[in-house]
């Protein structure tokens, strides 16, 4: 009887240890207020996301190097034309903080950019060499209500890795802060203009 109980206990422990439900969550799942559904692709598929354009060689992977955190990441490698991965979410602000982690196998041709509510928000990566997972962060104007983030990509010889997508509501800046930011941008534009003209 004791041996049978020990064997059953061992089997239960092995089952729990190998169960994906007990696996580490993506870092984006721990971000309070993240508006993105399935932010780390931990469902093992594109639940919550919409795929359009060239969907060839596009999927969710549980293998390194396409996973930044958790058990899964998006593996994106359409050949010959761009693929699009987008999600529409509901926010309650007019300013949003957005971030994502991106990996590139390298090889050309390749391209990757982000569109925010249909507007190119960068980064505009074209024929870039390989790089390890890197975090991209930005603050973007948006709508109270529906907003859409779209990743546009092509990777003919290999793959991009995308993981841990985060979008959160941001506090609306005070008018004084906006004026200060605008003055800083104008000052920077003057410096760049002077440098280019020199």
Q: How far apart are CA 52 and CA 176, in angstroms?
A: 41
pLDDT digit string, tens, across residues 87-113:
999 999 999 999 999 999 999 999 999
Write out the two tokens for 146. Answer: 């529906």
pLDDT digit string, tens, across residues 148-161:
999 999 999 999 99
- Binned at pLDDT 50, 70 and 90, residue 63 comes out as very high
**Residue 63 to residues 24, 54, 56, 68, Cα–Cα distance (Å):** 15, 22, 18, 10
- Binned at pLDDT 50, 70 and 90, residue 197 comes out as very low
Taking alpha carbons only, the member of 79, 130, 124 closest to residue 104 is 130
Are the beta carbons of 36 and 167 closer than 8 angstroms?
yes
* Strand stretches in the chain, DSSP E: 50-53, 58-61, 73-76, 83-91, 95-104, 110-116, 119-120, 125-126, 131-141, 145-155, 160-169
The domains of the chain, with CATH numbers, are 27-192 (2.60.120.260)
Taking alpha carbons only, the member of 10, 26, 7, 29 closest to residue 18 is 10
Name the percent of the chain lying above pLDDT 90: 73
Q: Show Cβ contacts of residue 142 under 8 Å, excluding neighbours closer than 6 positions.
A: 91, 93, 94, 95, 96, 116, 117
């Amino acid at each position: 009887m004791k041996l049978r109980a020990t064997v059953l206990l061992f089997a239960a422990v092995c089952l729990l240890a190998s169960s994906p439900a007990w696996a580490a969550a993506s870092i984006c799942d721990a971000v309070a207020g993240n508006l993105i559904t399935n932010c780390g692709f931990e469902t093992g598929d594109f639940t919550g996301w919409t795929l359009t354009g060239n969907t060839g060689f596009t999927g969710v992977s549980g293998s390194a190097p396409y996973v930044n955190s958790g058990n899964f990441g998006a593996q994106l490698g359409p050949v010959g034309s761009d693929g699009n991965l987008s999600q529409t979410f509901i926010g309650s602000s007019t300013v949003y903080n957005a971030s994502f982690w991106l990996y590139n196998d390298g090889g050309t041709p390749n391209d990757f950019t982000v569109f925010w509510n249909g507007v190119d928000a960068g980064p505009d990566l074209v024929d870039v060499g390989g790089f390890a997972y890197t975090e991209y962060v930005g603050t973007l104007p948006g709508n109270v209500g529906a907003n859409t983030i779209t990743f546009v990509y092509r990777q003919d010889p290999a793959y991009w890795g995308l993981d841990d997508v985060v979008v959160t509501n941001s506090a609306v800046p005070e008018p004084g802060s906006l004026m200060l930011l605008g003055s800083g941008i104008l000052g920077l534009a003057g410096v760049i203009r002077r440098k280019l003209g020199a």
